[in-house]
Chains A and B, each alone.
Chain A
């Protein structure tokens, strides 16, 4: 069987493209869902904190419960795309990691005693982003890059725009997550 160097080049390019697309798709399969669901919860929750603080606790509670359930269902469906014998022990470790991180976050906030809701919020956001960074580094670099711009946005809002911090977090933090999630979904 003989082919020309040009054909060989085209075949190698097709292989590279398929491998890259497949890797990105598998790696980002769960991350775009996490981003969109978290983004929607943030958008509604932070806007409620900014404009209707009296009911924001209920909005956050309902949003977090619904978001978690939706994230688990969609994540489970995505998990069926690729079956891996190594997944079961990983799922247990991931769940344990998040439980420990929540425990450490609660302990740190209890010790630090934040002066107001904004301080408590930014601490929670930083712990969440730390957890997402760890998940990204564990699975693939391509699913960790979005943590940095979202964290940067949160810190900019906290230090430079404290008066509209919740609005900032809702529109740019939550909206940014939704936009990045949609971008990842359409791109890969």
Chain B
């Protein structure tokens, strides 16, 4: 039976994962674009991304584009799997209503 994931359950992290899993598996999203879409601050997003990265659910890729540093984020295979499991668990709880 699918179980809720405590790391993903937090509201901002849940929305981060929801956004990242909509991308194709090897696609990455720009940090500032993700921040604007989720309407959170740099610090807030950075802190939640660190938690997700530590859990192995996302990868954070820092690169230089035209000599400017840019941060790109993507969901790992494990991240996609646990997110789907979390969604299944939520649906199961809702059906038991």
A23 to B24, CA, bound (A): 11
B55-97 contact mask (Cβ, 8 Å, vs A): 1 or 0: 0000000000100001010000000000000010011011011
> Which of B's residues lie within 8 Å of A, judged by CB?
3-4, 6, 9, 11, 14-15, 18-19, 21-24, 26-30, 33, 37-38, 65, 70, 72, 87, 90-91, 93-94, 96-97
The yes or no answer to A115 lying at the interface (CB within 8 A) is no
The yes or no answer to A52 lying at the interface (CB within 8 A) is no
Binding stretch for chain B, among A7-15, A55-63, A65-73, A145-153:
A7-15
- B91-A12 in contact (CB<8A): yes
Q: Which are the 6 A-B pairs with shortest beta-carbon distances?
A: A5-B97, A8-B93, A18-B18, A81-B33, A22-B19, A8-B90
Q: Which residues in B have their C-beta under 8 angstroms from that of A18? A: 15, 18-19, 38
Among B4, B6, B18, the residue within 8 A (CB) of A15 is B18
Given contacts A19-B22, A21-B37, A5 and B93 within 8 Å (CB-CB) = yes
A12 to B14, CA, bound (A): 10
Q: Which residues in B have their C-beta under 8 angstroms from that of A82? A: 23, 27-30, 33
Q: Which residues in A have their C-beta under 8 angstroms from that of B93? A: 3-5, 8
